[in-house]
A and B are shown apart, each in its own frame.
Chain A
């Protein structure tokens, strides 16, 4: 990863597009019933995962959540292995034992990816405990949604992290804005008595800031600053990244409600009509937003945006075909990995 801000924009675009095309492939697999069970997509939050991961070191630990696909890809996991895991295949990141909710790549520093929302806060606090004990200047970053703070374990572990000054960056991806709400058959939106989540870590003396979650540079800057302070021994920090809920994020079974992303909406080749998702295309979609900003720099930049999109689509298409063609784990291995030797 470069630290030249101009070059970094292109790397961010490439990674954000990779996540977007990956999630669109998962959405297609889901619609086609290529895998069973419910799942969650990271569409609309790509800027947070990509910006945050770029600010972390190679040896840092990461704890992720049920909405993890973007985190493992932003950290550099193989898209084919990630897709194969979602399809329950032997070539999957976790040999088909975890599936979509639990994608986890320990070789890249991932701790367990828990589907129990509050647990992420606890496991990451444990990661920070290990980092501090090893004394190697590493830290642990936790990625979780606003719902995680509704569970008691989050309170207990924020308290422990603060008491013991553990090097943990708590990244709360607040995607509750524009969520459907219970009235429309969705999840409850924010069900906190506190209307400012920063007050929860704040009550324990953990400094908490809020950034625009669709701006990868805002996230990158915030996480970079937090990481430097963690490494200096200042203890944990809390960053709330604000995103709008993507319209396709139906409870449990997402739908590609905004369609397959048309990069033409960023380059100006496709007109954005007056449909229900106009705000999404014009303002809230972090991928189109960054692509639009880059494409506006001239014809060469515009062509580069289109070229990156083509490359990424090829990568995901190839990965998807390979994952679909790959075998399921042999049934006689079902009891493997209960215990390590």
Chain B
């Protein structure tokens, strides 16, 4: 059986089931689904577990630190850091405290904290409320990075994040909270490090993350009308990263486009492109293409914002550049 559900509703279901199952799970954060129309969904959490939903002060570093320390002391907090841009306020606590804990203790101190934020170009966010820190975080060893794209992904990935003995950061793109997709009635935690082939194809591999998956699927439909059969690979987690699935797809198609809504340099797209260049060069029939934001802050003015943000059309153009002679 399957039904349709929004990303936000599946997100809340995952928290509800995690809190029901384990009394050491709590939510530190007042509005993990933001202040938009999905906000009310989190009332279910307050109703069912009033003592395990904590409204913190505006102290992103503070709650990140409390989450790390609490996890070291044996509970499993889910800490919401609001907008991705605010993750920088918590940076030391995430990358220098939580991410180092297990290693620095010589394997004696697990840190099972989960962090979450709403990242990305959310519309009218201007430079300071549109940031996406996931690729920066990929450069900090010791933290698992989760990038759900669909309702069917976010449920199982959050369940796994909370159960994980490691610090985990879940990035939800602010613009996909209300997007509906099919979900199975029988849901379970999803393993990390297993990419999901969102669309099978034989001509080109599009590796996309989070909202990029939605753009890539739209692009694939447009490309299909032009006779190009695109495969859309969603890694779902950056750490651990499913190199095998990406390389297998590129081996089949011989062409790679990587989509990531980050500035170009040192984006996740860059890292994925480098990995394929290093380990799958022999499969490539054309240069790898990266579809990202340029290295420019996100402007407020809507047409400027739109011009700089990756979308289906940009992905189609990138695919056309490397399939022109195909």
Cβ–Cβ contact A157 & B75, under 8 A: no
The reply to whether the CB of B62 lies closer than 8 angstroms to some CB of chain A is yes
Between A104, A114, A133, A134, the greatest number of chain B beta carbons within 10 A of the residue's beta carbon is seen for A133
**In the complex, what distance in Å separates the CA atom of A159 from the CA atom of B65?**
13
Chain A contacts of B61 at CB under 8 A? 122, 152-153, 156
The reply to whether the CB of B36 lies closer than 8 angstroms to some CB of chain A is no
The interface-forming segment of B1-9, B52-60, B205-213, B288-296 is B52-60
Q: Which residue of A lies closest to B66 (CB)?
A: A126
Say how far B52's CB is from chain A's closest CB, in angstroms. Answer: 8
Say how far A66's CB is from chain B's closest CB, in angstroms. Answer: 13
Given contacts A129-B66, A131-B73, A159-B62, contact A123 B97 (CB under 8 A): yes
The reply to whether the CB of B102 lies closer than 8 angstroms to some CB of chain A is yes
Cβ–Cβ contact B70 & A129, under 8 A: yes
Contact of B71 among A98, A126, A152 (CB under 8 A): A126
Say how far A177's CB is from chain B's closest CB, in angstroms. Answer: 29
**In the complex, what distance in Å separates the CA atom of A2 from the CA atom of B124?**
65
Say how far B25's CB is from chain A's closest CB, in angstroms. Answer: 10
Contact of B65 among A92, A93, A94, A119 (CB under 8 A): A119
Report A80-125 residues with CB < 8 Å from chain B CB. Answer: 92-98, 102, 104-107, 111-112, 114, 116, 119, 122-125
Cβ–Cβ contact A92 & B106, under 8 A: yes
**In the complex, what distance in Å separates the CA atom of A34 from the CA atom of B84?**
45
Say how far A312's CB is from chain B's closest CB, in angstroms. Answer: 26
Between A92, A157, A340, the greatest number of chain B beta carbons within 10 A of the residue's beta carbon is seen for A340
**In the complex, what distance in Å separates the CA atom of A64 from the CA atom of B265?**
38
The reply to whether the CB of B67 lies closer than 8 angstroms to some CB of chain A is yes
Cβ–Cβ contact A93 & B106, under 8 A: yes
Cβ–Cβ contact A97 & B59, under 8 A: no
Chain A contacts of B141 at CB under 8 A? 338
Chain B contacts of A131 at CB under 8 A? 73
The reply to whether the CB of B83 lies closer than 8 angstroms to some CB of chain A is no
Convert B39-72 into 0s and 1s, putting 1 for each residue whose CB lies closer than 8 angstroms to a CB of A.
Answer: 0000000000000101011010111111111111
Report A301-341 residues with CB < 8 Å from chain B CB. Answer: 336-341
Chain B contacts of A126 at CB under 8 A? 65-73, 77
The reply to whether the CB of B104 lies closer than 8 angstroms to some CB of chain A is yes
The reply to whether the CB of B101 lies closer than 8 angstroms to some CB of chain A is yes
Say how far B235's CB is from chain A's closest CB, in angstroms. Answer: 17
Cβ–Cβ contact A106 & B66, under 8 A: no
Given contacts A98-B105, A337-B107, A340-B107, contact A153 B66 (CB under 8 A): no
Between B57, B59, B72, B101, the greatest number of chain A beta carbons within 10 A of the residue's beta carbon is seen for B72
The reply to whether the CB of B110 lies closer than 8 angstroms to some CB of chain A is yes
Contact of B165 among A61, A112, A156, A341 (CB under 8 A): A341
Chain A contacts of B56 at CB under 8 A? 160
The reply to whether the CB of A164 lies closer than 8 angstroms to some CB of chain B is yes
Chain A contacts of B166 at CB under 8 A? 339-340
Given contacts A114-B97, A123-B97, A153-B62, contact A130 B104 (CB under 8 A): no
Say how far B3's CB is from chain A's closest CB, in angstroms. Answer: 34
The reply to whether the CB of A140 lies closer than 8 angstroms to some CB of chain B is yes
Q: Which residue of A lies closest to B61 (CB)?
A: A153
Chain A contacts of B72 at CB under 8 A? 106, 111-112, 123, 126-127, 130
Chain A contacts of B63 at CB under 8 A? 160
Given contacts A127-B70, A339-B144, contact A112 B57 (CB under 8 A): no
Show the binding face of A for B, using Cβ within 8 Å: 61, 63, 92-98, 102, 104-107, 111-112, 114, 116, 119, 122-127, 129-131, 133-134, 140, 152-153, 156-157, 159-160, 163-164, 336-341
Contacts A/B (CB < 8 Å), 29 sampled: A94-B108, A102-B104, A102-B105, A111-B72, A114-B97, A116-B92, A116-B97, A119-B65, A119-B92, A119-B93, A126-B66, A126-B67, A126-B68, A126-B70, A126-B72, A129-B75, A130-B24, A134-B74, A153-B62, A153-B65, A156-B57, A157-B65, A160-B57, A337-B106, A337-B107, A340-B102, A340-B110, A340-B165, A340-B166
Query: What 3 A-B pairs come out closest when comparing CB atoms?
Result: A126-B69, A122-B65, A156-B62
Show the binding face of B for A, using Cβ within 8 Å: 24, 26, 52, 54, 56-57, 59, 61-75, 77, 92-93, 96-97, 100-111, 141-142, 144, 165-166
